[in-house]
Structure 1
Amino acid sequence: MAELKTQPSATSVAAFLDAVEPPQRQADGRTVCHLLQRITGEEPRMWGPSIVGFGSYSYTYDSGRSGTMCRLGFSPRKANLVLYVLSGRDGEADKLARLGKHKTGASCLYINKLADIDLAVLEAIARDSLAEMNRRYPPA
């Protein structure tokens, strides 16, 4: 079985964020980093080459494949700011309707820039997602 590419690394989160382009995406990345750190109480850590993650959990699929991933995370990519904060929890769709301009896919939330959204709604979504992660995968 192939090894998962998204593993925790020793890469500096600050250095990663310093290299993000364009400058607005870098600023948005720093804002999201502080927001998720405040919500989780965890220090940010790089997962793979481009995901900033907070906390971790272990999972095993029905197929037997298992791994470890961050509880919440984000990636300030060139096309979008991608947040790994969607859980499918009750009420999530209502919050997404109030969030502002965004797209979704699986557990991902895609935002062009933070100025397009309501940060208080984003915080509520992230808090709900963390609560759902803690319910499904209780912290050790």
Structure 2
Amino acid sequence: MAVLKTTQTDADVNEFINTFAQTDQRRNDSLELIRIMTSVSGYPPKMWGASIVGFGSYYYKSERSRQEGNWMLIGFSPRKAAISLYVYSGCEGQEDLLADLGKYSMGKACIYIKKLADINPEVLCKLMQSTITFLQSKYS
């Protein structure tokens, strides 16, 4: 079985934000994302690995590989080039939400934004809620 490298830790989230987020804008956006994600998810922020802030968790077993383990429901990382948002699951209706999200780019499983002001916070909340609902029903 493949073991996940990124797991939940006991590291201090605020200390991480204050040292890892390299600009005031990135720090302020990170603190606002913590507020929003806590509100939407109902879970407190926890560090996942050395550089991801996650909220909630679920246990999954991959259908395509032998990988399994715990993973966050939603999360983000204030990386140097962009803020990585882990809020997308590809479930039904999310493509329509992405059309109204604002200015972003997309990786395989995450959304990259330069700053929080570039996106619509209401759409972000809907994306997060749909991902949480989907993951909790799929992996209950």
TM-score range, shorter chain: over 0.9
> Which residue does the alignment assign to 1:44?
45
Give SS of 2:43's match.
coil
> What TM-score, normalized to structure 2?
0.92
Stretches of structure 2 lacking an aligned partner (at least 5 in a row): none
The AA in structure 2 aligned to 1:17 is I
Asked whether the equivalents of residues 60 and 66 of structure 1 are also in contact (C-alpha less than 8 Å), the reply is yes
Q: Which amino acid aligns with 1:16?
A: F
Partner amino acid for 1:50? S
Tell me by how many angstroms 1:52 deviates.
0.3
CA shift, 1:106, in A, is 2.0
User: Take 1:50 and 1:123, find their aligned partners in 2: how far apart are those partners?
Assistant: 22
Number of aligned residue pairs: give it.
Answer: 138
Deviation at 1:76, TM superposition (A): 0.7
How far the C-alpha of 1:124 sits from its partner, in A, is: 0.9
Which runs of at least 4 in structure 1 moved beyond 3 Å after TM superposition?
Answer: none
The offset of 1:91, in angstroms, is 1.6
> Counterparts of 1:1-140 in structure 2 under 5 Å?
3-19=3-19, 20-62=21-63, 63-138=65-140
**Per-residue deviation, residues 28-66 of structure 1 (Å, max 9, x unmatched):** 111111111111111110000000011111111243322
- Paired residue secondary structure (1:99): coil
Q: CA deviation at 1:3?
A: 4.1
After TM superposition, give the deviation of residue 2 of structure 1 in Å. Answer: 6.2
Structure 1 residues 124, 2: CA separation in 2 closer, same or farther (over 3 Å shift)? closer
Question: 1:107, 1:127 → 2: CA distance?
Answer: 16
Unaligned 5+ residue runs, structure 1? Answer: none
What is the alpha-carbon root mean square deviation over aligned residues? Answer: 1.3
The Cα of 1:108 is off from its aligned counterpart by 0.4
In structure 2, distance between residues paired with 1:123 and 1:53? 15
Displacement of 1:18 in angstroms is 1.2
Alpha-carbon offset, residue 25 of structure 1: 0.7
* 2-structure distance, mates of 1:51, 1:135: 24
Letter in 1 for 2:90: G
Question: With structure 1 as the length reference, what TM-score do the two structures score?
Answer: 0.92
